[in-house]
Amino acid sequence: MAKESTTIDVGEPSTVTKSTSHEKKKGFVAAAARGGYKRGLSIFDFLLRLAAIGITIGASSVMFTAEETLPFFTQFLQFQAGYDDFPTFQFFVIAIAIVASYLVLSLPFSIVTIVRPLAVVPRLILLISDTVVLTLTTSAAAAAASIVYLAHNGNTNTNWLPICQQFGDFCQTASTAVVAASISVVFFVLLIVISAIGLKRH
Amino acid sequence: MKNESTVIDVPAESSSAMKGSAPLIGVARDHTTNGSGGYKRGLSIFDFLLRLAAIIAASVAAGTMFTSDETLPFFTQFLQFEAGYDDLPTFQFFVIAMSMISGYLLLSLPFSVVTIVRPLATAPRLLLLVLDTAAMAFNMAAASSAAAIGYLAHNGNQNTNWLPICQQFGDFCQKTSGAVVSSFVSVVFFIILVVLSGVALKRH
């Protein structure tokens, strides 16, 4: 077997190695920068979750304690009103409590996305479960809002009388709880959008 | 700056061996174009079909609620003998909301087609995801508030002396309940659409 030989000129090695290592550093900095803005998104996500926990716990407990007892009574109307007089408000209290506990359980996942901003799986899990919980929250808030609207205005066509004229405090407290739940819906939409942007590839 | 030279020995082999044993230097698996583009295109097609189904569900809900009038053949001096969606503001909101959602879904079909044609573009998918999330929340609000009123119409509320009107207006109640169910089906489609967009946005 005849051996062939060839001569390769390796010219200017020092500058060549300098430029490749410079490119490597640039690539590393770019990766860290990409991770940087995603880490910022994750921190914002975490803070939003904390705020949403506060608001949902507030909404659920406000509705839970929305009782009123009138100082008089008649032979037709009840003189007590509480959240358990309305199945929709019962659903509201339970659903918002479930949402609050979900948010607490999702905090570790949010921390994982802060620590590993480029990981896809935690963000995808958060996106899917946030979507489901968004529908639950919206459902509870909207159903309670429709009952609160009915209690304020009544309906002449169906002969449903507006009870807020007797139970003013109860109506006010229930309305506050519904408004708080609606704010938490906005937070959830923001959380979903943050997760989606964090998932984006480059 | 001195030029360095090096000598590399290339062992010559017989011609037949050289022809046969060309080493396969790593078939470059194209991760960036055809591979992931393929499954993302499949997701986009599924997204498009789901949108068509959601259009049908949303417009059926709006139409059923809109035409849910009922007139009773008798009358009393106390109760109304006509019932329609416009007797209840929540049902009016439902019809308007479901119509808006059907319109939104129709307008989002071109964006879905764009994600089929360009499976790797992230901007259309992100736009669709954000708009779909908002539309889903809106849809769920309309559906659940109408469901609450429908529940009240079926069962009434003794504590507030609200009488269940379904005992007189059976057909009206049935149609409105059907509209609410169709609207919940549309919400499920929206959930799947949002999750699809999220998965398709994923980086590799």
User: Per residue in B17-66, pLDDT tens?
Assistant: 455 555 556 555 544 445 567 888 999 999 999 999 999 999 999 999 99
Contact A124 B202 (CB under 8 A): yes
Residue B76 maps to a domain: no
Tell me the pLDDT band of B163, cut-offs 50, 70 and 90.
Answer: confident
Span B68-91, mean pLDDT? 79
| DSSP H/E element including B7 | strand B4-11
Nearest to A131 among B1, B152, B191 (CB): B191
Q: How far is B93 from chain A (nearest CA, A)?
A: 10
Q: Enter the tokens of residue B72.
A: 């009773």
Burial (0-12, 13-18, 19+ Cβ within 10 Å), B30: exposed
Residue B75 placed within a domain: no
> Does A87 sit within 8 Å of B160, measured CB to CB?
no
- DSSP alpha helix (H) spans, B31-88: 36-66
pLDDT tens figures, B103-146? 999 999 999 999 999 988 889 999 999 999 999 999 999 999 99
- Is-contact A200 B203, C-beta < 8 A? yes
Question: Residue B136 is part of which domain span?
Answer: 41-69+83-203
A103-133 pLDDT tens trace: 999 999 999 999 988 888 999 999 999 999 9
Q: How far is B27 from chain A (nearest CA, A)?
A: 24
Within a domain: residue B74? no
Residue B77 lies in a domain: no
Probe site for chain A from B194, B195, B199 (most A CB atoms < 10 A): B194
**Hey, of B10, B133, B138, which one would you mutate to test binding to chain A, going by the most A CBs within 10 A of its CB?**
B133
CA distance A66 to A46: 30
Residue in chain A nearest B86 by alpha carbon:
A157
User: Which residues from B are below 8 Å from A192, CB to CB?
Assistant: 129, 133, 194
Residues of A in contact with B148 (CB under 8 A): 88, 142-144, 146-147
Q: How buried is B1 (Cβ within 10 angstroms: 0-12 exposed, 13-18 middle, 19+ buried)? A: exposed
Which ipTM value was assigned to this complex? 0.76
Tell me how far CA of residue B170 lies from CA of A150, B61, B84, B93, in angstroms. Answer: 21, 18, 12, 22
- Please write down the HEC assignment for all residues of chain A: CCEEEEEEEECCHHHHHHHHHHHHHHHHHHHHHHHHHHHHHHHHHHHHHHHHHHHHHHHHHHHHCCCEECCCCCCCCCCEECHHHCHHHHHHHHHHHHHHHHHHHHHHHHHHHHHCCCCCHHHHHHHHHHHHHHHHHHHHHHHHHHHHHHHHHCECCCCECCHHHCCHHHHHHHHHHHHHHHHHHHHHHHHHHHHHHHHECC
Are residues B144 and A120, on separate chains, in Cβ contact within 8 Å? no
Tell me which residue in B3, B10, B157 faces A6 most closely, judged by beta carbons.
B10
> A85 with A147: CB under 8 angstroms?
no
Identify the residue among B127, B129, B181 best suited for mutation to test binding to A, counting A beta carbons within 10 A and taking the highest. Answer: B129
Tell me how many domains chain B contains. 1
Q: Is the pLDDT of residue A17 over 80?
A: no
- Residue A159 to residue B163, Cβ atoms within 8 A: yes
Give the residue with greater pLDDT, A31 vs B108. Answer: B108
Q: Is residue B12 part of a domain?
A: no
DSSP category for residue B6:
E
Alpha carbon distance A137, A187 (integer Å): 11
Q: How many CA atoms lie within 13 A of B55 on its CB side?
A: 13
Whether residues B5 and A81 touch (CB distance < 8 A) is answered with no
Segment B141-157 shows an average pLDDT of 93
Residue in B148, B157, B202 nearest the CB of A199: B202
Name every chain B residue with its beta carbon within 8 A of the beta carbon of A158: 80, 87-88, 153, 162-163, 165
Contacts of B89 in chain A (CB under 8 A): 149, 153
**B40 neighbourhood in chain A, CB within 8 Å:** none
The band of A155, judged by pLDDT with boundaries at 50, 70 and 90, is confident
A146 touches B at CB < 8 Å: yes
Of residues B136, B160, B203, nearest to A202 (C-beta): B203
- What is the bridge-based pairing of β-strands B82-83 and B70-71? antiparallel
- B152's tokens: 């009240």
Average pLDDT over chain A, rounded to whole?
84
A131:B141 CB<8 A = no
Q: What is the pLDDT of residue A37?
A: 87
Using the structure block, give the residue that is written with the tokens 């149609």: B175
Question: Where do the structural domains in chain A lie, given as residue ranges?
Answer: 29-69+82-199
